[in-house]
Amino acid sequence: MSGVANIVAENLVEAYDPSQDPGNWYNPEARPDYVYPDFWMSTEGGQSTWANHVAYNVFIDNDKSDGRLRLLFEQRTNVADRSISGNTVLGAGQEAWFHHLVACGVCSSPQCSTYAPSITAESNAMLFIGAPPNCLNCYPQAPCYLTQL
């Protein structure tokens, strides 16, 4: 997902059901390297090589039937510089991960951002900085990504 000023509210993500996956492709236990977030917001979300801002979106009281709902906000390195700012996650049971490029000047790499990042977690939502564990292609520990706010 990418875009600006969306509201995603009161969704229930069902637990993994092996009967709906005869190839066992999406089984988080059988293939831990392929476990993705439940919602993935990325600046690399447009058609072809386009990039989008991920800003001023609100996630309210979304839930997962077998645990915490994982949201990932990620700015990718291989697309035009776009913002991840002004997003809000409201409600218990939601786990927001924030993986954003550091500001230019902080990192000498050309992979830096001209935008100030921001995300707010309220009403018992949890916020983590960095890439979630076992997330394929999330650039964990890349040197020019924020690891703390």
pLDDT at 6 (0 to 100):
93
Quick check: pTM over 0.85? no
pLDDT one-digit tens code per residue, 77-112: 666 788 888 999 999 999 998 888 777 777 766 677
Cα gap 115→52, rounded to integer Å: 13
Q: Which DSSP string do the residues of 45-81 spell out, in sequence order?
A: -SSTT----EES-EEES-EETTBPEEEEEE--TTS--
Whether the predicted pLDDT of 139 surpasses 70: no
pLDDT at 142 (0 to 100):
61
pLDDT one-digit tens code per residue, 22-72: 888 778 777 776 667 888 888 876 666 677 889 999 999 999 998 889 898
Nearest to 37 by CA among 8, 13, 10, 5: 13
Whether the predicted pLDDT of 17 surpasses 80: yes
pLDDT at 104 (0 to 100):
77
